[in-house]
A and B are shown apart, each in its own frame.
Chain A
Amino acid sequence: DIQMTQSPSSLSASVGDRVTITCRASQSISSYLNWYQQKPGKAPKLLIYAASSLQSGVPSRFSGSGSGTDFTLTISSLQPEDFATYYCQQSYSTGWTFGQGTKLEIK
């Protein structure tokens, strides 16, 4: 199975900050990388698919980049509602693995 490793595991930031979360795959997954946001007690929400495509209805402050094994999720200017846990997930091969998550907290 393809392993997905996110960094950092947790992150403290302030409203208005620019934040970047990294996801690394154990082998090349082309651009088959998706990002989700999850708030406590809620189901995950798709933010970015195919590494850089913004899901409908998601604010443009969210962006994704990367290909091969290294990917990033960037939030250009943090808003109060963005404090949550973020997961990457590969859809390159079945055995669709997730990263361990990055918890974004208010500084």
Chain B
Amino acid sequence: QVTLRESGPALVKPTQTLTLTCTFSGFSLSTSGMCVSWVRQPPGKALEWLALIDWDDDKYYSTSLKTRLTISKDTSKNQVVLTMTNMDPVDTATYYCARTERYSGTNAFDIWGQGTMVTVSS
């Protein structure tokens, strides 16, 4: 069974750096074609893709946020970490991690974590 779970602070102050961890099970991020993404959703708004890391350690970022984002993986721990610098109240959102199988699978976000709500406020 494939599962993902997000963890991190529920509240951060403006200008601070947010660090979120996605801990997953049921697959390996060293398997060819496997990827993990971060997606966020402000309250009442649409989904926004943020970043993706793949089995080969290639990293891709949202054009509008790439200067603030860093994604990394620890294959031995089955974790993917996202950092976002210079947090602002507009970054208040639920942050999800999600899996993609690019070649043998759907090439879509087929399994999602439950999400973690992050509020940016002083």
Contacts and interface: CB of A to CB of B under 8 A. Distances in A.
A48 B110 CA distance: 10
Interface string A62-75: 00000000000000
B63 interface: yes
A79 to B, nearest CB: 22
Q: Size range of the interface on A?
A: 20 to 34
A50 B107 contact: yes
Nearest to A1: B63
Interface stretch (B12-20, B41-49, B75-83): B41-49
A98 B114 contact: no
Contact of A53 (B60, B106, B115): B106
A43 B49 CA distance: 14
B121 interface: no
Contact of A50 (B62, B106, B113): B106
Given A36-B109, A45-B112, A89-B109, 10 more contacts: A34-B106, A43-B114, A53-B106, A55-B108, A91-B100, A91-B107, A94-B60, A95-B49, A95-B62, A101-B47
Interface of A is mostly: loop
Contacts of B106: 34, 46, 49-50, 53, 55
Q: Size range of the interface on B?
A: 20 to 34
Interface of A: 1, 32, 34, 36, 38, 43-46, 49-50, 53, 55, 87, 89, 91, 94-101
**Of B106, B108, B110, B112, most A-chain CB atoms within 10 Å:** B108
Contact of B49 (A46, A50, A98): A98
Interface of B: 37, 46-49, 52, 60, 62-63, 96, 98, 100, 106-110, 112-115
B15 to A, nearest CB: 27
Contacts of A97: 49
Contact of A98 (B46, B52, B63, B110): B46
A89 B114 CA distance: 19
Contacts of B110: 46, 49, 55
A24 B96 CA distance: 25
